[in-house]
């Protein structure tokens, strides 16, 4: 027998994708005459399914019912009773949560997902923005660098030896002992004033939002080992410097998002104080410390729970009321820095923070500034993420506005490198669009480079990472691989800027920076030695988003292409664009240009085509506009 359901077609499911809590749901199955009855099996996450008989009209079985009034995940399959007493089940293809159905004789067929959410709005300034990620130590030294250096040196950290690159263009490195532990933290000495002085550069690049990696007092150059959440690291600047940066940024249309590292602190911190650096008692002083309950000791004071086994990063119990109040209270960390001009927070390792704690952060932000943004670091599909055995509630209406879109990054890079064909890329993006509430989908941070990953140019050059530290530090792409990597980066970044979501540029990617994994992906920005062609390309992309608002809020629909050519449309009432990208290195790919697409918006490394049969050059892209739009 044959039966069919497709969650992406309105004939079979309405509404498409995630649905507002309490709204009506329509589901249907097409089946041949052998099917005598069809039953919907619908379950709230973690619960047994309820059975709903479906009405028949010709070959179509259908049912309409209201969704729950509160946010949750729902899962469904179908049970078909056939003539002769046989039963079969209809569900998703294995390891998928939507799309076309598959028929099975086993009832454990994969279910379809429905994300039921309570309405929440992601700020327009973010959804319509261009984000630039800055690693503060490595971006720019300001005129205040000598003062910052003197003030930082006056406050000594007993747990770490610091080294300063006096030469800004030095290659990055870590000083390690024989076990691999970092014992010397090298600093470039970037400052907040340096960022402020480079605001004209960011404005000309088209940036409207800056995501700053941690800026608070810490021992290391990465500053994920927070020493004091209430104080800017002295090497970076002062509270006044921060306030000026926020104010001058706003005047240029640039907002700032701060990195909130709340799952752990530094061992050399005001709160833990393992080395006695601070005068007040930290948790290592015992129960007399107001912070003692924040941490879990296995053997006081030398063995304690720490982040991924790193003893410089003792873990915090976010369920402790005093800690939650310190972070989220009226005079807490979240609200202080919003008051001083920040526009949002990015939550480091959001999957290691309890949902209850994230809700408190969101509530504090909503109370302080309803236009502020809460962004989470989540590496998988955030709609159905399970961490530490718990299904997360990021997108149900009371937690995150957006997440870092690592699923996009993964499939987009693999497509560009020839490891994933165009239809698979389209299916992955459609799966995200189906599972995410629209505000979260269009607000997803579409990154391709970050401080946690090898520089994107190095990735696209197919350069294996050496085992030796010295080779990793000095290795650069040879000319032929560098040329290939740049062409690939042009295509990948064009894809990043034209699919739904908020594009994010990792500092220096637009300048042609290379580097393997941490710390070699965190080198100093090459001021005066930027790659002019790549920088011009990124400026063209930011201008494209500005001139064509359809690229921020328009509908997204993949269209048939080839294994190499990824084709899709973006459409709104004012404009429809057709984007075609050929990732093939040698392939001249045939494409058929529909007659209504008569205007060429962008032709990258290929000629502007006339309607009808055309050929795309290798490693090329086209953006065409529909006539009359």
Q: Average the pLDDT over each of 80-84, 160-164, 475-479, 504-508 and give the range with the smallest value.
A: 160-164
Annotated catalytic, 617? no
User: Which pLDDT belongs to residue 158?
Assistant: 47
pLDDT digits (tens, 9 = 90+) for 327-369: 999 999 999 999 999 999 999 999 999 999 999 999 999 999 9
The 3-class secondary structure across 173-213, one letter per residue, is CCEECCCCCEEEEEECCCCHHHHHHCHHHHHHHCCCEEEEC
DSSP line for 428-485 = HHHHHHHHS-HHHHHT-EEES--TTS--HHHHHTT-PPPSSHHHHHH----HHHHHHH
CA dist 154 and 136 (Å) reads 20
Of the residues 144, 377, 439, 490, only one is catalytic, namely: 377
User: Which pLDDT belongs to residue 179?
Assistant: 87
Mean of the per-residue pLDDT values for the chain?
A: 96
**DSSP helix/strand/coil, 160:** coil
Q: Which position has the token pair 């990258």?
A: 604
Query: Average pLDDT, stretch 269-293?
Result: 96
pLDDT exceeds cutoff 80 at 628: no
Closest CA to 566 of 623, 612, 512: 623
Query: Average pLDDT, stretch 199-224?
Result: 97
pLDDT digits (tens, 9 = 90+) for 232-249: 999 999 999 999 999 999
CA dist 105 and 587 (Å) reads 43
Q: Can you state the angle between helices 532-547 and 479-498, rounded to 10 degrees?
A: 10
CA dist 211 and 260 (Å) reads 11
DSSP 8-state assignment for residue 6: B
Closest CA to 511 of 481, 486, 492: 486
Assign 153 a pLDDT band (cuts: 50, 70, 90): confident
pLDDT digits (tens, 9 = 90+) for 81-94: 999 999 999 999 88
Query: Can you list the alpha helix ranges (DSSP code H) found in 239-301?
Result: 239-251
More confident residue, 181 or 378: 378
User: Which pLDDT belongs to residue 159?
Assistant: 43
∠ CA 34-38-43, rounded to 5°: 150
Query: Average pLDDT, stretch 179-189?
Result: 90
User: Which pLDDT belongs to residue 1?
Assistant: 87
pTM of the entire predicted model: 0.96
pLDDT digits (tens, 9 = 90+) for 515-540: 999 999 999 999 999 999 999 999 99
CA dist 274 and 285 (Å) reads 8
User: Which pLDDT belongs to residue 629?
Assistant: 60
Assign 162 a pLDDT band (cuts: 50, 70, 90): confident
pLDDT exceeds cutoff 80 at 44: yes
Contact call for residues 617 and 588 (beta carbons, < 8 A): yes
Q: Can you state the angle between helices 321-328 and 355-368, rounded to 10 degrees?
A: 30
My answer on whether omega of the bond before 352 falls inside 30° of 0, hence cis, is no
Tokens standing for residue 434 = 């189906």
CA dist 178 and 180 (Å) reads 5
pLDDT exceeds cutoff 60 at 156: no
Contact call for residues 572 and 598 (beta carbons, < 8 A): no
pLDDT digits (tens, 9 = 90+) for 547-587: 999 999 999 999 998 999 999 999 999 999 999 999 999 98
CA dist 233 and 369 (Å) reads 25
Residues near 384 by Cβ (< 8 Å), separated by ≥ 6?
73, 97, 113, 115, 391, 435
User: Which pLDDT belongs to residue 463?
Assistant: 85
My answer on whether omega of the bond before 53 falls inside 30° of 0, hence cis, is no
339 backbone dihedrals φ, ψ, rounded to 5°:
-65, -30
Query: Average pLDDT, stretch 283-287?
Result: 97
Annotated catalytic, 348? yes
CA dist 624 and 622 (Å) reads 6
- CA distances for 546 relative to 225, 497, 549, 629, angstroms: 38, 11, 6, 17
CA dist 292 and 620 (Å) reads 59
pLDDT digits (tens, 9 = 90+) for 399-428: 999 999 999 999 999 999 999 999 999 999
Contact call for residues 423 and 523 (beta carbons, < 8 A): no
Tokens standing for residue 156 = 């000594």
Of the residues 315, 348, 381, 490, only one is catalytic, namely: 348
Output the CA torsion 398→401→407→411 (10° steps): 150
Query: Average pLDDT, stretch 384-410?
Result: 97
Residues near 327 by Cβ (< 8 Å), separated by ≥ 6?
229, 262, 318, 333, 334, 357, 360, 361
pLDDT digits (tens, 9 = 90+) for 6-21: 999 999 999 999 999 9
Element (H, E) at 492: helix 479-498
């Amino acid at each position: 027998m044959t039966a069919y359901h497709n969650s992406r077609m309105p004939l079979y499911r309405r509404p498409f994708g995630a649905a507002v809590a309490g709204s009506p749901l329509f589901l249907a199955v097409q089946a041949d005459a052998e099917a005598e009855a069809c039953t919907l099996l619908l379950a709230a996450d973690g619960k047994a399914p309820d059975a709903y008989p479906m009405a028949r009209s010709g070959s179509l079985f259908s049912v309409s019912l209201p969704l729950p009034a509160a946010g949750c995940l729902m899962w469904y399959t179908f049970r078909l009773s056939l003539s002769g007493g046989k039963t079969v089940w209809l569900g998703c293809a294995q390891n998928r949560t939507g799309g076309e159905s598959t028929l099975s004789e086993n009832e454990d067929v994969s279910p379809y997902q429905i994300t039921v959410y309570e309405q929440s709005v992601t700020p327009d300034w973010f959804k319509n923005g261009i984000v630039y990620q800055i690693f503060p130590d490595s971006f720019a030294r300001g005129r205040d660098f000598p003062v910052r250096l003197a003030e930082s040196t006056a406050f000594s950290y007993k747990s770490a030896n610091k080294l300063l690159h006096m030469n800004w263009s030095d290659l990055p490195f870590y000083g390690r002992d024989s076990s691999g532990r970092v014992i010397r933290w090298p600093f470039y000495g970037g400052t907040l004033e340096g960022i402020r002085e480079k605001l004209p550069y960011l404005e000309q690049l088209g940036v409207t939002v800056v995501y700053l990696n941690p800026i608070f007092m810490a021992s290391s150059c990465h500053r994920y080992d927070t020493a004091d959440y209430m104080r800017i690291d002295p090497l970076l600047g002062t509270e006044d410097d921060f306030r000026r940066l926020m104010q001058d940024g706003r005047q240029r249309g640039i907002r700032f998002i701060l990195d909130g590292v709340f799952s752990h602190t530094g061992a050399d911190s005001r709160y833990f104080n393992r080395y006695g650096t601070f005068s007040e008692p930290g948790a290592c002083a015992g129960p007399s410390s107001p912070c003692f309950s924040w941490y879990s000791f296995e053997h006081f004071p030398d063995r304690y729970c720490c982040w991924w086994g790193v003893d410089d990063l003792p873990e915090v119990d976010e369920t402790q009321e005093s800690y939650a109040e310190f972070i989220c209270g009226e005079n807490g960390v979240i609200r202080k820095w919003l008051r001083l001009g920040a526009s949002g927070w990015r939550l480091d390792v959001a999957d290691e923070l309890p949902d209850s704690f994230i809700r408190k952060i969101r509530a504090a932000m909503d109370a302080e500034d309803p236009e502020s943004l809460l962004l989470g670091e989540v590496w998988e599909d955030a709609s159905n993420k399970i961490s530490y055995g718990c299904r997360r509630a990021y997108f149900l209406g009371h937690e995150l506005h957006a997440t870092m879109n690592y699923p996009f990054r993964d499939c987009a890079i693999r497509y560009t490198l020839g490891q994933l064909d165009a239809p698979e890329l389209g299916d992955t993006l459609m799966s995200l669009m189906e599972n995410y509430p629209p505000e979260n989908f269009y607000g997803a941070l579409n990154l391709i480079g970050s401080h946690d990953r090898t520089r994107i140019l190095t990735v696209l050059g197919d350069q294996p990472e050496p085992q030796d530290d010295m080779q990793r530090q000095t290795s650069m792409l040879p000319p032929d691989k560098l040329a290939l990597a740049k062409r690939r980066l042009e295509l990948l970044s064009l894809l990043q800027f034209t699919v739904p979501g908020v594009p994010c540029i990792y500092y220096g990617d637009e300048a042609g920076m290379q580097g393997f994994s941490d710390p070699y992906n965190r080198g100093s920005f090459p001021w005066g030695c930027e790659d002019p062609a790549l920088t011009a390309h990124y400026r063209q992309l930011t201008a494209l988003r500005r001139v064509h608002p359809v690229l921020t809020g328009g509908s997204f629909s993949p269209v048939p292409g080839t294994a190499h050519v990824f084709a899709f449309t973006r459409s709104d009432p004012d404009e429809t664009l057709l984007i075609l990208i050929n990732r093939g290195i040698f392939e001249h790919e045939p494409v058929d240009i529909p007659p209504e697409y008569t205007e060429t918006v962008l032709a990258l490394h290929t000629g502007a085509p006339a309607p009808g049969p055309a050929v795309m050059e290798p490693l090329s892209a086209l953006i065409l506009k529909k006539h009359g739009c």
